[in-house]
Structure 1
Amino acid sequence: MSEEDPGRDTYPDADRAAVRDEPAPSARVPLDRERIVAAALDFIDANGLPGLTMRRLGEQLGVEAMALYRYVPSKEELLDAVVESLVAQIRDDEVVLDSPRDGWQDFLQRLAHGVRRVALAHPKAFPLVASRPAEAPWLRPPLRSLDVVETFLSGLLEEGFSDEAAIDGYRAYTSFLLGHLLLEVAVHGADVGPLDVLDDQTGEPGLAAYPIVARLRGPLSEDRSAIEFEEALEALLDRMTVARSAHLAE
């Protein structure tokens, strides 16, 4: 490792490989858009979003940054492609359904857990789902692709929801998912702006003036994310049931 750049060996170096008469990584595995996007997601998972640059990604792939632009014209397009890959993982989840089979509650529960699985598998990349432009400006993250939203709405309409109730359900459902999951990935080290206050802090605050907080510090610090997710999802589905029932009674 070079003393001048102690972090250099973090990424494969194509130039040094050539000097050592070794094939560059890109010579061993052909470079393409899919491989670049997968490498970008791996980089974000390991290092966080702020550190991602085309140069560093090129080093990870063993090529010059300019070689990437043939497949991904800009970093902005690369980030959009990372989001597309995350949404594709949701669609490809074997538990997520294309249409209701055992009722709309089961349909939405499966989708919610599919989104959560992706968020927890890629917590540092998941905030991109909220921050990158959607396919249409009126779509709401994390259900931000036309394909996913079409599936969501058609599933509810098949189950007796009116147009208005299905739209209201979409708004409530996306707000629930985004709010809960951004809080959860922040705990797992995601950079979500103001939500960073949830990250672990060095040292302990003085609690002498706050006896109730001090007494309840143990349960307050428990990780109940999974339980809270289930309870909030059930409450949301209950509200949607009332809206659906009101429509059917008309």
Structure 2
Amino acid sequence: MSEPLGTVPDEDATPDPDSPEGLGRAASPVTDAAVQRSREPLSRRLVLVNAVGLIDEEGLAALTMRRLGARLGVEAMALYRYVTGREDLLDGIVELLVDDLYGDPDVHMEADVWQEYLQRLAHGVRRLALAHPLVFPVVATRPPAAPWVRPPLRSLRWMESFLEQLQRSGFSDWAAVESYRAFSSFLLGHLLLEVSARGAEISPVEQNPPDTPRRTDLSSYPRLQALEPELSQDHSAEVFDESLEALLDRLEVTRRTR
């Protein structure tokens, strides 16, 4: 559990295994790549990596094209070859962090046991959140590629992997979709609380009004294509009630065992 603001961590305590300190290294390849900014030619990835680094060090409010250009040693206008503006920059940051999961050796695209798959994936997302607590709210609040894509696992490729894994493990279409919603809600709620305790601003990121939604190309994602009608349905009230009932059941067990 993260330390409350204003407290001094116990130096003798065991570090959180998902934190950079617990891992004994940067918890994200994005963090490692930031040190290379002076040796690489300018590219979209380098711009995004350093945008993440700037937010990590100074907070989201510090992210401007001028400040980012200065960090990279170029004029702000030079960045527009790689990002079209702040909105594209924020979208790119989200894609960069979520794609970082593919480089995590402890996260697998498939597993023999579905519980192991979800545990590895959940801890991988948590490692990203703890490595970049000031950036994680951007992942949580940016408009997704499609209205039924839920943060923080906002990747069509990961959604396809998730649904495939659960269906292969015996989940029906309905059960797989409901599990995706419940899993996303658990991760988002828990991790936003954690990064907030680490000083992150979790209010929605300022952004331009969304354009008319465009059709998402799902031709490479057969399960998403088949389940799009179910994914598009709003079951927020049911998911909330079921999660609340599960919490109450857990609290009753706690009451009886103490």
Q: Same fold (TM over 0.5)?
A: yes
Task: State how 1:64-83 maps to structure 2 within 5 Å.
Answer: 64-83=75-94
Q: How many residues align?
A: 174
- Aligned-pair distance for 1:166? 0.7
Distance in 2, matches of 1:96 and 1:58, equals 34
Residue identity in the other structure for 1:106: E
Q: Which has the larger radius of gyration?
A: 1
Residue 181 (1) aligns with residue 191 (2): yes
- Aligned-pair distance for 1:189? 1.4
Aligned pair in 2 of structure 1 residues 89, 27: CA closer, same or farther (>3 Å)?
closer
Q: Determine the structure 2 residue equivalent to 1:139.
A: 149
Distance in 1, matches of 2:38 and 2:150, equals 41
- TM-score, normalised on structure 2? 0.63
Q: Which one scores higher on RCO, CA 8 angstroms, separation ≥ 6?
A: 2
Superposed CA deviations along residues 62-95 of structure 1, whole A, max 9, x for unmatched, are 1110010011111110111111111011232111
Distance in 2, matches of 1:61 and 1:143, equals 29
Give the one of 141, 153, 159 matched to 1:149: 159
Asked whether the equivalents of residues 127 and 182 of structure 1 are also in contact (C-alpha less than 8 Å), the reply is yes
Distance in 2, matches of 1:37 and 1:48, equals 15
- TM-score, normalised on structure 1? 0.65
Residue identity in the other structure for 1:45: D
Q: 4+ residue runs of structure 1 moved beyond 2 angstroms? A: 25-29
Task: State how 1:109-148 maps to structure 2 within 5 Å.
Answer: 109-148=119-158
Residue identity in the other structure for 1:114: G
- Structure 2 unmatched runs, 5+: 1-35, 205-242, 251-258
Q: Determine the structure 1 residue equivalent to 2:103.
A: 92
Superposed CA deviations along residues 28-80 of structure 1, whole A, max 9, x for unmatched, are 64211111111100001001111110000011111110010011111110111
Superposed CA deviations along residues 184-233 of structure 1, whole A, max 9, x for unmatched, are 00111111029xxxxxxxxxxxxxxxxxxxxxxxxxxxxxxxxxxxxx9x
Give the one of 175, 179, 201 matched to 1:165: 175
Distance in 1, matches of 2:38 and 2:148, equals 43
Asked whether the equivalents of residues 108 and 121 of structure 2 are also in contact (C-alpha less than 8 Å), the reply is yes
Q: Percent identity at matched positions?
A: 58
Residue 44 (1) aligns with residue 58 (2): no
Asked whether the equivalents of residues 50 and 68 of structure 2 are also in contact (C-alpha less than 8 Å), the reply is yes
Task: State how 1:187-206 maps to structure 2 within 5 Å.
Answer: 187-193=197-203
Asked whether the equivalents of residues 91 and 148 of structure 1 are also in contact (C-alpha less than 8 Å), the reply is no
- Structure 1 unmatched runs, 5+: 1-24, 195-231, 240-250
- Aligned-pair distance for 1:141? 0.5
The DSSP-based 3-state class of the residue aligned with 2:62 is coil
Asked whether the equivalents of residues 26 and 62 of structure 1 are also in contact (C-alpha less than 8 Å), the reply is no
